[in-house]
């Protein structure tokens, strides 16, 4: 019967001035940096483990570092046995790499008298569980959403795209944050130059800190002064998988639960979630409701200001009298009235969005009901205005996309001002200017107004104005230039032949 000695407990190593890891301690110089001397039970020279306590999973550290090192046996090859036990360890003397890895939760192991270090991954993977989407709720869609962990997010996508064509390209961005940014695309589907252009763009990014996917969005896609989103942010894995299958690319940022999809067009936002609707008719119905929603959100205040403030004679006498009756006693001009209450609407909206859920709901009720009612009773606003404001708010929410909703809320102001100043003339010219602006935008090289301008008739018929049953969609959206535009073989045709 062999007697087994109890291992000596690991002890904090003294940071000797000229030890091999001293440079690491000096560089990080932080109180959560720990150095632990691990001694083997079988007589091997001690090893010093250097790591950041706040990043390391203690359990993994114990199982994957301490125990193997303690069991390393001099009689069974000594250092070779130790190497064998640290089978996943990376051996290097590259100081930059060592520093980088320690800062991402690895343990650096220094053997006595050696400059090289073994790097063992023990990072603390503290992420929340996969949960339901919070910003893109769908009645009939899947109930999983991305988390802050890129690994988890990749898993969610790979479960939906089990194809070897899925390419994952990783880059590290941010001098301070060292954030992992991942580009996803389908080989043979995405336009060949698109991933290359985005990777080139990533390599040119030189920032100190990457907070989330929106930072990458603005830096990478060259977002200008436009309020319109030039990339689609989503927290839904099914949406990303679907977009990849259409030849688009996705950019994932570790630490952000939102994935960027590019290119994107204005009409693409109105397709959100329609894959879960049954039949072409429902799809077209919902899509058109959204088009109407964004139109209402942008134009209703302008119509109110233009028709009641300037072009009164356009209205039939009965309508005019009814509208005038509601404004009786309101002390200031229509343009001022509508602008003031649009501002109130946006303040209430922003406050309710930024507040915790129960408070947000209360704010919405207070804003929409109490303030509106009180303003009408105090003759500060007309009843018609309250209706206009309510319709505008509902219309902007119908856009289904937060970024697009913000854009609609911003552009309604200049259009309302033009309409208030010049009536329907101003409203029309405001819309024309808006359309020029939209026509001049591009997302990753794709015109933002496509497939309307420039026209792609097949896409218009299938994905924009009308729709076809999911089984009858023969082609992918052509505006994105997929390498393989055929989605399904013609009915009855044997693909294998």
Partner 1 sequence: MTAFRLSSWQLFLLVFFTSFCVTPFGVSGLHAGLGRHIWLASLAQALLTMIGSAGVVLLFRRWPKHSLRTIAEAALGPAGGRAFVFLAAVYIWVWGPVGNLTTLLRMIQSTQLPDTAPLLIAAVLVAVGVYGALFGPEIIGRASEFFALPMLPALAVLSLVPHLQGEFGRLLPLSGAPADFWFEGEFWTFALGLRGFILALALAGAFPGQQAAWPILAGGLASSALVTLLSLAPHTVFDTQTVARFQFPTLETMDAVNVSAFGVQSFLTVTMTVWHVIGWVVTAATLFTAAQLFAEVFGIGSGGTAHRSEPMGFLGTHRTLLLPLAAAGLFVAGYPRDAQGGQWLTYAWNALGMAVGVAGPWLLWAVTGRSRPERRSADS
Residues within the interface to partner 1 (CB under 8 A): 222, 224, 307, 310-316, 319, 418, 422-429, 432-433, 435-436, 438-440, 442, 447, 449, 452-455, 465
> Least distance from C-beta 309 to partner 1, angstroms?
8
Least distance (Å) between residue 198 CB and partner 1: 15
Contact of 113 with 225, CB cutoff 8 Å: no
Greatest alpha-carbon span in the chain: 109
* CB environment 164-193: b (16+ within 10 A), e (fewer): eebbeeeeebbeebebbbbbbbbeebbbee
Angle at 284 between CA 281 and CA 286, to 5 degrees: 105
CB of 449 to partner 1, least distance (A): 6
DSSP bridge pairs for 56 = 123
Considering the complex, state which of residue 135 and residue 383 has its C-beta at the smaller distance from partner 1: 383
For tokens 């356009």, name the residue: 314
Q: Are 223 and 217 in contact (CB under 8 A)?
A: yes
- The closest of 91, 263, 101, 249 to 172, measured between CA atoms, is 101
- The nearer residue to partner 1, 106 or 271, going by C-beta atoms, is 271
Q: Which helix (H) or strand (E) holds 262?
A: strand 259-262
DSSP string, 181-218: EEEEEETTTS-THHHHHHHHHHHH---S---SHHHHHH
- Residue 436 CB, shortest distance to partner 1, in Å, is 5
Q: Nearest approach, Cβ of 315 to partner 1 (angstroms)?
A: 7
Closer residue to partner 1 in complex, CB, 183/452:
452
Which residue, 261, 253, 266, 197, is CA-closest to 227? 266
**Smallest gap from residue 435 Cβ to partner 1 (A):** 5
Nearer to partner 1 by Cβ, of 426 and 481: the residue is 426
Burial class (CB in 10 A: 0-12, 13-18, 19+), 228: buried
CA–CA distance, 192 with 277 (Å, rounded to integer): 32
Q: What angle do CA 238, 243, 247 make, to 5 degrees?
A: 150
Minimum distance, C-beta of residue 142 to partner 1, in the bound complex (Å): 33
CB closer to partner 1, 127 vs 434 = 434
Q: Which is nearer to partner 1, 110 or 269 (CB)?
A: 269
Query: Which of residues 117 and 198 has its CB atom nearest to partner 1 in the complex?
Result: 198
**4 vs 204 by CB, closer to partner 1:** 204
Cβ 479 to partner 1 shortest distance, Å: 13
CB of 441 to partner 1, least distance (A): 9
3 state SS of 56? strand
Under DSSP, is residue 389 helix (H, G, I), strand (E, B) or coil? helix
Q: What is the helix (H) or strand (E) element at residue 120, kind and residue range? A: strand 117-121
Q: Which residues contact 325 (CB under 8 A, 6 or more apart)?
A: none
Question: Smaller CB distance to partner 1: residue 447 or 482?
Answer: 447
Least distance CB 341 / partner 1 (angstroms): 22
| 400, two tokens | 């289904």
Report the residue number, 437 or 473, with the smaller CB distance to partner 1. 437
Closer residue to partner 1, CB minimum distance, 312 or 486: 312
Token digits of residue 491: 């009915």
SS3 content of the chain, % helix, strand, coil (to 5): 50, 15, 40
- Residue 36 pairs in a beta bridge with 12, 49
CB of 438 to partner 1, least distance (A): 8
* Bridge partner residues of 167 (DSSP): 185
Task: Report the chain's terminal Cα–Cα distance, integer Å.
Answer: 70
């Amino acid at each position: 019967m062999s007697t087994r000695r109890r291992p000596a407990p690991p002890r904090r190593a003294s940071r000797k001035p000229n030890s091999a890891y001293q440079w690491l301690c000096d560089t990080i110089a932080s109180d959560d940096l720990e150095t632990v001397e691990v001694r083997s039970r079988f007589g091997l020279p001690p090893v010093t483990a250097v790591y950041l306590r706040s990043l390391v999973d203690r359990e993994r550290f114990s199982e994957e570092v301490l125990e193997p090192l303690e069991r390393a046996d001099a009689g069974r090859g000594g250092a070779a046995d130790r190497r064998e036990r640290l089978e996943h360890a990376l051996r290097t003397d590259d100081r930059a790499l060592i520093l980088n890895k320690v800062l991402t939760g690895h343990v650096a192991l220094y053997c006595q008298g050696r400059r090289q270090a073994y790097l063992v991954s023990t990072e603390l993977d503290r992420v929340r569980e996969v949960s339901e989407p919070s910003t893109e709720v769908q009645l009939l869609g899947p109930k999983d959403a991305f988390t802050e962990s890129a690994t988890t997010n990749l898993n969610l996508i790979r479960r939906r795209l089990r194809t070897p064509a899925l390419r994952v390209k990783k880059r590290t961005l941010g001098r301070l944050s060292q954030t992992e940014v991942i580009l996803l695309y389908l080989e043979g589907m995405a336009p060949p130059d698109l991933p290359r252009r985005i990777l080139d763009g990533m390599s040119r990014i030189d920032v100190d800190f990457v907070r989330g996917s929106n930072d990458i969005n603005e830096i990478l896609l060259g977002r200008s002064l436009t309020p319109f989103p030039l990339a689609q942010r989503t927290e839904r894995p099914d949406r990303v998988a679907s977009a990849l299958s259409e030849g688009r690319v996705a950019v994932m940022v570790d630490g952000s639960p939102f994935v960027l999809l590019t290119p994107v067009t204005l009409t693409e936002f109105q397709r959100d979630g329609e894959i879960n609707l049954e039949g072409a008719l429902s799809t077209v119905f919902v899509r058109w409701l959204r088009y109407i929603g964004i139109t209402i959100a942008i134009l209703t205040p302008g119509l109110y200001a233009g028709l009641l403030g300037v072009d009164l004679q356009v209205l039939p006498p009965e309508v005019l009298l009814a509208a005038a009756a509601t404004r009786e006693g309101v002390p200031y001009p229509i343009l001022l009235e509508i602008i003031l209450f649009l501002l109130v609407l946006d303040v209430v909206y922003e406050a309710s969005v930024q507040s915790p859920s129960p408070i947000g709901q209360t704010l919405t009720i207070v804003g929409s009901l109490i303030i509106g009612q009180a303003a009408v009773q105090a003759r500060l606003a007309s009843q018609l205005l309250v209706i206009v404001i309510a319709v505008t708010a509902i219309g902007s929410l119908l856009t289904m996309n937060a970024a697009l909703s913000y854009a609609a809320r911003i552009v309604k102001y200049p259009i309302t001002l033009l309409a208030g100043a010049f009536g329907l003339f101003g409203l029309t010219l405001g819309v024309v200017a808006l359309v020029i602006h939209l026509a001049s935008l591009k997302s990753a090289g794709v015109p933002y107004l496509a497939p309307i301008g420039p026209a792609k008739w097949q896409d218009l018929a299938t994905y924009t104005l009308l729709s076809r049953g999911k089984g009858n969609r023969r082609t992918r959206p052509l505006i994105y230039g997929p390498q393989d535009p055929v989605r399904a073989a013609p009915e009855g045709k044997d693909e294998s032949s």
